[in-house]
Amino acid sequence: MPAKRLAKSVAVSFGAELRGARAAAEVTQQVLAEKIEVDPIYISLLENGHRQPSLAVVLNLERALGLEPGELSRRVAKRLLSDGAWRSPKLSRKTN
């Protein structure tokens, strides 16, 4: 999968996992945004796959949602593996 398509798949998968975790925690986008000190629009953009968060934001989201560090990343990776979006690119060997 080309890098741009993989990046989009990651963003969409992350958004779906974030939305699910937020729903399970029974918090609104507004409340979550206040907890991590971002604009609620940013939470919406993340959940809809239009933005990719920094590692610091991911860790803040996990803490605010009561998740273990790395949990959202594990869920995203599992989703990418199950839908076939994650395939290792073939690397060519250099010849001298």
CB 18 within 8 A of CB 12: no
Q: How far apart are CA 79 and CA 14, in angstroms?
A: 9
Q: Taking the domains of the chain in order of start, what are their residue ranges? A: 3-80
pLDDT for res 16: 96
pLDDT tens for residues 45-82?
999 999 999 999 999 999 999 999 999 999 999 999 88
| 42 CB-near residues (< 8 Å, 6+ apart) | 33, 51
Q: How much is the pTM? A: 0.85
Could you tell me which CATH class the domain 3-80 is placed in? Answer: mainly alpha
* C-alpha angle 68-74-79 in degrees, rounded to nearest 5: 140
Summary mean pLDDT of the chain: 90
CA 69 from chain centre, in angstroms, equals 13
